[in-house]
Amino acid sequence: MTATRFAARVLTAAATVTLTGAIVAGAAGTASAQTGEGEQVMLKGSTTASYYWDDASGRAGDTGLPASGKPMQKGLAASPSWPLLTEGYVLYKGRKAPFFVGDRGPGIPSNRGVMLDLDAKTFAQLTGGTFNADTLGVDGNGGKGHIKVTYVITKWGKGVGTKNHPKPFATGAWAKKDRNPAEPVTVAPAATEILAAVLRTAAL
């Protein structure tokens, strides 16, 4: 390939990358999700997540069994506004973990933007720590208690609650029937996959 043709391909690739970035950036503020080609999701967003473990033992601030009636377990998360038994997953530094909403919370922390309470075992998995069955905490993760995560909702629970971006517990959204849920979206290929394809083309 001549230098001129190679330069033209690189310029075309650069323009494509710029356009792709603009499209992805524009979609980031909506209820759509760039999580994988052909995947239909209900909602995507980001929030700060904390962790807890309520097994009715009364230890470490334990407030009792989860509100859904499901026993405390890995994958059971608390939300201040989503319907109980809503399903989805979180992404954190290349790691993915499924969850379902089995409890209510965080309470006051949700006023400060902490909109998801993951179970301690999932939090440990995401942060590279270990669950301490004695303290109900997470050890060995550098002291992390809050992390920024991307959340993806794949199925809404059937009960009351907000079927959209989370709201603080104090708003009472967890007890209200949502009549204006987010629109589900069938997503396009992930931006990283598009970029890789463009770079492969540019190298030819």
> Which of 166, 162, 168 lies closest to 181 in space, CA to CA?
162
- Per DSSP, the three-state class of 102 is strand
Task: Write the pLDDT tens digit of every residue in 109-119.
Answer: 999 999 999 99
CA dist 126 and 97 (Å) reads: 7
Whether the upstream peptide bond of residue 106 has omega within 30° of 0, thus cis, is yes
> Which of 149, 133, 125 lies closest to 75 in space, CA to CA?
125
* DSSP type of residue 96: E
Inform me whether the pLDDT recorded for 129 exceeds 80: yes
Q: How far is CA 108 from the centre of its chain?
A: 20
Percent of the chain with pLDDT over 90: 63
pTM (predicted TM-score): 0.74
Task: Write the pLDDT tens digit of every residue in 86-96.
Answer: 999 999 999 99
Task: Write the pLDDT tens digit of every residue in 38-78.
Answer: 688 999 999 999 999 988 777 776 677 899 999 999 999 99
